[in-house]
Structure 1
Amino acid sequence: MIGREYIPQVYFSDVFQVSAETVDAYGAFDVALVNDLPLFVDPFLLFDSEDDKYKELHSSIIRYLVFLRDRACADDLTEGNITHWLLFKEVKQNWLGFSKAGNRGTGLGRTFANALARNLRSVFKNFGTETLTSSSHIEKLSLLNGGVGRDHLSDFTTNLIFGFLLDYTEKFAKTHLRPDQYRRFRLDKVVFDYDTRRWKSAYFDLPFFEGDFVLLTPKDMLTRDESWINQGDLIHQFTQIRKSLPDSFLRSQVDEHFYSQIDNFSSAEERKEAVLRTVEKYPDVLDYYILNKEENAPAAHALSDLKVNETHVQFVENVKELIGDHLSKTAFYEVGDSYDECHQRIAYLKHVIEDNDGYRLFYLKGVPMKRESDLQTLFRLTWFRTTYDVNSEVNNGRGPVDYKVSRGRKDACLVEFKLASNSGLKRNLAHQVNVYAKANETSKAIKVILYFSDAEREKVLKVLKELCLEKCPDVVLIDASPETKASGSKATSSD
């Protein structure tokens, strides 16, 4: 491939040969068919939408949860019913979520199903009959520590609007794709029949890619990181909510319960747990919190629009520029030994970042990236054309490693990404990769460290000197500072 230009096929529009403008005009997010992007459906955006179809979707979600609540309170959630009503496959075909490699997440397992059934019998037994808020909200189920986390909520919501997303994607396929680009699929759990109390299957014509279908999702129901109603925000606003409770008796009860669990020396984690135990004891507090979120609904749309646009810039526009202008025109996508392949890709990525303005990939509105998960996702997107298996969070008994690049058991290399600002960088360098390498039966492990300023660079160099790693070829520093880059490599592990 040296000397020849390869046209990368990373995004939906690339793979299916439609313009990105066509996908955008349809209202869908142009997903990367290499790796999940950190977006998910926010059910609050369905609730507060001006689109009647979205409102109907939200109503259908609440109706199903009320059905589950009734079954839970009637002790009708047998193992068989839990399997049919609460166990869902992960909808990995939308290529959205929390996976850092590929599109396979944890999905909705038995633990989630049992936790949801338990909560609907107890603290959420009034779900669907709230009088303070204008509607019930599925997000309420994730506000307590009960086994229903934000990733579970996202997967569950996507499953409950699965039929809509299938229909939405089918209409795009039949309008904008060639007949040979889509195939007919029979999908389970598309529509719920309340008369028979069973999920029904249906057939759809959907875009076909590498043995599976692809699902499109409207941008205006997506957000990033957290839904508008979320546990972190509840904890952050707890003091304000507690002080503004109109019922003085409830307010005094909440105060007494909360303050009985903490003192002046309590840690942030201890205070968080005290908040969650208090709202579990007095769940009316949740309704006051949700009421406040309803009253500030316009901000939810503004914030989600901002987050989705930023995600598009960071993971679509910037990556397309990186791949199209630099990586696809070089030997970057040649194949070799996994260790050499990783070093080659990292070295060229370093060259592009430091010498060809590729550092801009790690900035958004002038602010440097400060999340290692974003760095890891961006790196994975550059592996769109490889014969190697690229897996993230591989855990072989000693904890997860960022990436394991392999071809069979005998050819494997581990890659760890860290930001120089990471407070645990020294400890990680001293122990983590060697432990991971031993657990994964390979001696090949590379550490990549990204820094954004001279101060961060000096911090890293000091750590490397203390650990006698200054000349280690498997510790690679990348300079992503915005200052004018010197020619050649400015920041190598041998500095």
Structure 2
Amino acid sequence: MATYFNEYFGVDRDILDDYGAFNISIINDLPLFIDPFLLFHSSKPEYQALHTEILKYIRFLRDQVVAGRVNSDLVAAWFFFSEVRQNWLGFSLVGNGGSGLGVGFAKALRANLAELFADFGEEKITESSHVEKVCLVQSGVGRDNISDFSTNLIKHFLCEYTQAFALANIAPKKRRQVWVDKAVFNYATQSWSRRLYELPWLSRDQDFVLLTPKDILTREENWINRTDMIRDFESIPTAIPDSELRGQVFAYFESELAKHSEPDKEFSQRDRDEAAVKTLIRFPDLVDYYIRFKEENGDDAVDMSSERVLETRVVFEDYVRQLQRELANTTSFYTIAGGTYEETHQRLAYLKDVVENKGGHRIFWHDGKSIQRESDLPVLTRLVWFGSPSDVGAEANDGRGPVDYKISRGAFDKTLIEMKLAKNSALKRNLEKQLPIYQAASDAKQGIKAIIYFTLEEKIRVDAILDELKLASHKDVVLIDARADNKPSGSKA
């Protein structure tokens, strides 16, 4: 039942905390990623050196592009990277496999190197260069791309950081010497080199494991990100010292916004976003002013990331452990036999009982707020579900759309599960149309929908939808009451 790094490798969590590393799950990626801004803003010289190394590599790529030396073979060698899956962080909903940095990122980075990063090291507006700049211009380059790129460029540090901890705290039988590809870039030979490290070894996967310092991790968005830049656009021009340029920017923005004007109608957020994007294209220096604003408020990035990392630990580790213990101690959740359909129904029944009557609802709450991202549900459920004799796959897509889980034992025993939030605006359409399509595509005979609600209003809404669709008493639609205001106290639960 070992779910987390410290459990599998026999390390006290306090020792891991004192070392500064995040206690990862070895069952599923957790939704955290490296934010390169935290390297830049850190007071630790080793982190600042890592940020400098990232910029050095980008300058190398830029110089090769400008000189016309980059052919298709070198694009593959210099721009393409696999996901560093061994750190068990990211956005995979099952296991730790991600897509890595492919053609889209390579094209975006290569296309913008000559112009976007032309002044690396010679910035006039910002304090430093930042790799995140590529995601501000290219809408298809997101947080996972920036994180994967940064993680690959500091992989040698992560290996040494993990190796030092492993040698001091992990038994030799749970360590192994491994060659790690693309660990260090050799500027003399202009090629990536592998290195030998002694690292924690996960025998189940026949792979090594990497630790990551908590203080370079965040969740949701990089501190420098496109969404913030566009949504907070109207505050950017105020940072421009040139009053004439500032006036031109505001005038251009207002003229673009006026194109969406309609009588007796306020501008929508989409209208403002579109006007902001066009203004940013017209005045590219605004991107640098936005970055400078982020630099000047870097302490907020540290505070926010610390809060988000703590929240991730509480929800995906502390609360999951509590729920695992409750399920193990008071139910037969982890010892159910039979086919997948019966197993799934019994497990959901146990989960429902523990959530509704034994304090298990806490897994869905933090600081008085219920879970907001439906994408967190599959990760939480997989961590809790771990230990089933069946194969548990997340986001199975058999050609007609994804489903949260496919529980299977061989080719002929499959049950599909969808975990949904009651507040999902597409819930009715999903109930009405999606599941039958998934069943037909996966050749599954059964499918079960679990819907979680957090307020009375959400329950009323779900009940109305189920009544309308004549599913109110359907055994394959399971409602889970995760309200916090109608539960007994911990001493009575």
Structure-2 separation of matches of 1:129 and 1:345:
60
| CA distance 1:247–1:388, change in 2 (3 Å) | farther
- Residue 304 of structure 1: CA displacement? 0.9
SS in 2 for 1:204: strand
1:289 alignment counterpart: 290
Alignment of 1:378-393 (within 5 A): 378-393=380-395
- Summarize deviations over 1:426-457 as a string: whole Å, max 9, x none: 11111121222222222321111111122211
Cα RMSD, aligned residues only: 1.8
Structure 2 gaps of 5+ residues are: 489-493
**Which residue of 1 is the match for residue 210 of structure 2?**
215
Q: Structure 2 vs 1, CA of residues 257 and 74 (structure 1 numbering), >3 Å: closer, same or farther?
A: farther
Alignment of 1:47-446 (within 5 A): 47-209=40-202, 210=204, 211-262=206-257, 263-264=260-261, 267-327=268-328, 330-333=331-334, 334-446=336-448
Label 1:281 to 1:403 Cα distance change in 2 as closer, same or farther (>3 A): farther
What's the CA shift for 1:384? 2.1
Partner amino acid for 1:269?
Answer: R
Output the CA distance in 2 between the equivalents of 1:64 and 1:282.
Answer: 28
Q: CA deviation at 1:247?
A: 2.6
**Is the CA contact (8 Å cut-off) linking 2:108 and 2:134 kept in structure 1?**
no
What TM-score results when the alignment is normalised by the length of structure 1? 0.93
SS in 1 for 2:118: coil
Structure ranking higher on relative contact order (CA contacts 8 Å, 6+ apart): 1
Cα deviation, 1:160-191, whole Å, max 9, x if unaligned, reads: 11000000001111100111001111111111
* Distance in 2, Cα, partners of 1:277 & 1:353: 48
Instruction: Write out aligned runs for 1:31-42 (5 A).
Output: 31-42=24-35
Q: Structure 1 residues 437, 275: closer, same or farther in 2, change over 3 A?
A: farther
Asked if structure 2 preserves the Cα contact closer than 8 Å seen for 1:115 and 1:146, the reply is: no
> Paired residue for 2:491?
none
Unaligned runs of 5+ residues in structure 1 are 1-7, 487-495
In the superposition, the TM-score normalised over structure 2's length comes to 0.93
Separation (CA, whole Å) in 2 of partners of 1:389 and 1:329: 24
Distance 2:88 2:396 in 1: 20
Per-residue Cα deviation, 1:30-86 (whole angstroms, up to 9, x for no partner): 001111111111111111111110010000011111111111222222111111111
Distance, in Å, in 2 between the alignment partners of 1:397 and 1:121 is: 40
SS of the residue 2:221 aligns to: coil
Secondary structure of the structure 1 residue equivalent to 2:223: coil
How far apart in 2 are the matches of 1:433 and 1:275? Answer: 40
Deviations 1:453-473 (A, max 9, x none): 222111111110000101111
| Separation in structure 2 between the aligned mates of residue 47 and residue 226 of structure 1, nearest angstrom | 16
CA 1:146–1:462 in 2, change beyond 3 Å: closer, same or farther? closer
Q: Which amino acid is the alignment partner of residue 46 of structure 1?
A: L
Separation in 2, partners of 1:394, 1:276:
36
Alignment correspondent of 1:30: 23
Deviations 1:382-401 (A, max 9, x none): 12223333222222222222
**One-letter amino acid of the structure 2 residue matched with residue 66 of structure 1:** R
8 Å CA contact retained: 1:188, 1:200 = yes
What secondary structure, in the 3-state scheme, does the structure 1 residue paired with 2:299 have? helix
Identical residues among aligned pairs (%)? 47
Q: Which moved more, 1:336-345 or 1:245-254?
A: 245-254
Q: 1:456 maps to what in 2?
A: 458
Task: Quote how far apart the aligned CAs of 1:146 are.
Answer: 4.6
- Judged with a 3 Å threshold, the aligned counterparts in structure 2 of structure 1 residues 128 and 337 are, in CA distance, closer, same or farther, namely farther
Aligned residues: 479
Structure-1 separation of matches of 2:68 and 2:121 = 18
